[in-house]
A and B are shown apart, each in its own frame.
Chain A
Amino acid sequence: MNYFIFNTGGDWDSTSLYLNGEEFPANRLYIRFEAGRDYDGDPRKGGLSLGGEATAFALPQQSGAGEWALFPGKIDLEFPTRKVTIENNSPNFAIEMTRVLLDNEDVSHQLLDIEIDVDAIENRVTAYLTLFKPHFFGADEVATYTLL
């Protein structure tokens, strides 16, 4: 079972990736989830339980090495102001079995999108998380949390 820990302070020097307690040199870390939408693409209450699509891998710095699957397993993503934990231990990666925590709060049933792309080669960093928050009174909310 893989247990990754990603930590960054906002620059490349403070960015690190560990696998099962050992540093994992990597060129790229990519995680993307799309869930919580109906057939028309409109957000609906339910999050990951409604199904969706997911891509998650780490690209080691070792030449010739292929993409390293993050799941089944768990990854902690520690950003300067937020902490995200993604866990899925199902052997066939059933997306409905994925748990997503934002600052230790389970947001699995509110998740719409999450994208984390840390590409050292392209010098590109993207990290955000989108939740759907329905409200009984007033308009529903689509909240985007910018992680980096």
Chain B
Amino acid sequence: MKRFLSILFSVVLGMSLFADGFAQRSFGRSGSFGGGRSSFGGGRSSFGGGSFGGGRSSFGGGSFGGSTRSYSRPSAPSYTSPRSYSGPRSSSGSFNRSGSFGNSGRVNSTSANPSRNYGGRSSYRDYGAPVYYGGTPYYGGGGFWSGYAIGALSHRPWYAYTPFYPGFYVTPPVYQNGAYYGGGFSFGRFIVGILIIGLIVWGISRLFRGGGGGVRYTNYR
């Protein structure tokens, strides 16, 4: 029984330590869309459809010395310019949408598990973007324990104070400068939980202890 409980706690602790690994999934968005091309369309165009001056022209018909000279203007070089614009756009782009990506990123959450935040940097695990609890930001770093930590701020049920609930092993975050910081897994509470569960197991074993076991015989003179 004691061995089974110790193995169970080792598994739970191991999962908590590696919980970050499960959360580090990125949707692969690196800030740019479409492979980093900065221009749209990507084609080239020429203006005027031709060279300046068109073809050849000759002047006069007379002669200065009797020979006919023809002059031809060199064709003006053609100009190509990319279709990229500097400065503010006037059109809505290829996707018929204007503005920055995504929504504002502000999500009000009062539950123990915060909503996913896709604002700004839209990654699942975001150390920078806060989770909002009742309008107040919470910088918990995400992960398995941060959800229980912010849940500790609200009214907790009775079983949250027993070592059989994961939220027992977290400390609530601290309110400072208008935001919540810290909180999370507490090794002190973990040790207390082990002691309480060990005491319960020992007490149950005492109840089932028969008369033949656990008795030692001594002699005194």
Q: A-side interface residues toward B, CB under 8 Å?
A: 38, 40, 42-44, 81, 139-146
List B contacts of A44 (CB < 8 A).
Answer: 211
Min Cβ gap A138→B in Å is: 8
B216 touches A142 (CB 8 A): yes
Please tell me if B1 contacts chain A, counting CB pairs below 8 Å.
no
9 additional contacts, CB 8 Å, given A43-B211, A44-B211, A144-B217? A40-B211, A42-B212, A81-B221, A139-B215, A141-B216, A141-B217, A143-B219, A144-B218, A146-B221
Chain B interface, >50% SS class: strand
List A contacts of B214 (CB < 8 A).
Answer: 139-140
Please tell me if B220 contacts chain A, counting CB pairs below 8 Å.
yes
Q: How many residues of chain B get a CB closer than 8 Å to chain A's CBs?
A: 11
Q: B-side interface residues toward A, CB under 8 Å?
A: 210-212, 214-221
A140 touches B215 (CB 8 A): yes
Give me the 10 closest cross-chain CB pairs, A-B, nearest first.
A42-B211, A139-B214, A139-B216, A145-B220, A142-B217, A143-B218, A140-B215, A144-B219, A146-B221, A141-B216
List A contacts of B210 (CB < 8 A).
Answer: 42
Min Cβ gap B205→A in Å is: 12
**Bound-complex Cα distance A81 to B210 (A):** 35
**Bound-complex Cα distance A142 to B214 (A):** 11
Residue of B212, B215, B220 touching A144 (CB-CB under 8 A): B220
Min Cβ gap A65→B in Å is: 35
List A contacts of B211 (CB < 8 A).
Answer: 38, 40, 42-44
Residue of B215, B217, B221 touching A145 (CB-CB under 8 A): B221
Min Cβ gap B23→A in Å is: 43
**Bound-complex Cα distance A143 to B221 (A):** 10
Residue of A nearest to B213 (CB): A139
B220 touches A141 (CB 8 A): no
| A-B contacts, 28 listed (Cβ < 8 Å) | A40-B211, A42-B211, A42-B212, A43-B211, A43-B215, A44-B211, A81-B221, A139-B214, A139-B215, A139-B216, A140-B214, A140-B215, A140-B216, A141-B215, A141-B216, A141-B217, A141-B218, A142-B215, A142-B217, A143-B217, A143-B218, A143-B220, A144-B219, A144-B220, A145-B219, A145-B220, A145-B221, A146-B221
